[in-house]
Amino acid sequence: MQDLDVQFVGSYVSVGTCPPEKLPEYAFIGRSNVGKSSLINMLCRRKNMARVSNTPGKTQLINLFDVNETWQLVDLPGYGYATVSKRKRAKFEHMIEKYLETRSSLQCTFVLIDSRHTLQEIDKEFVNWLGAQRIAFVIVFTKTDKLKEAEIKQNIESINAELLESWEELPQQFITSSKTTLGREDILSFIAEINKMHAAK
């Protein structure tokens, strides 16, 4: 897959202040520290395009990136970050929800789940909320370089078993590592397919 030409568009405090919808958008969301910004950098092959940090809660705004002048990546703040104040957390949640509910250019939401853990209650709630709002999403398992293959398989099976308690079918899934770039081609091909359908409309 060719290199992407990525330009930072801007950071926005709310969907209302984002530039008008123009290009198909793909949002990356998940618990704080799950690896959203790292995944965006990995896809873009840029070191610190989206800001990465060991401290959860690094991304606090809606960050838009233009790719090849044909589509946009959206880095969103993480949800469920326990140590920020209740008020601030509610503000982030409102920002994320409003963006996902109202942004008409949004094609698909990538929900990131840490492959090292069992399904967290907050992830389950979030995925169920997306379903109730009829927001299209796929799942991305992150940080798989930190585990052995058998452990990844086992964890993903357990997460999927739990998802199937609320869902009849599993959403499409990608197994990734921002460190080894595992999953890059698959995600970019998936986005390219949707862009093609979008262009044909």
Q: Which helix (H) or strand (E) holds 140?
A: strand 137-142
Residues 6+ apart with CB under 8 A from 116: 143, 146, 147, 155
Pick from Mg ion, ligand GTP, none: which does 80 bind, CB < 5 to 8 A by kind? Answer: none
Site map for Mg ion, 7-46, x if CB under 5 A?
Answer: -----------------------------xx---------
Strand partners for 71: 67
The residue (of 177 and 195) whose beta carbon lies closer to ligand GTP is 177
Among 88, 118, 179, 189, binds ligand GTP (CB under 6 A): 179
Pick from ligand GTP, Mg ion, none: which does 155 bind, CB < 5 to 8 A by kind? Answer: none
Interaction residues for ligand GTP, span 66-125 (CB under 6 A): 77-78
Q: Which helix (H) or strand (E) holds 8?
A: strand 6-12
Closest CB 196 distance from ligand GTP, rounded Å: 28
- Beta carbons of 66 and 169 less than 8 angstroms apart: no
Closest CA to 120 of 168, 72, 66, 79: 79
The residue (of 58 and 143) whose beta carbon lies closer to Mg ion is 58
Residues 6+ apart with CB under 8 A from 17: none
Interaction residues for ligand GTP, span 36-65 (CB under 6 A): 36-38, 52-54, 56-59
Report the alpha-carbon distance of residue 126 to residue 194 in Å, rounded.
23
Sites of contact with ligand GTP (CB under 6 A): 30, 32-38, 52-54, 56-59, 77-78, 142-143, 145-146, 177-179
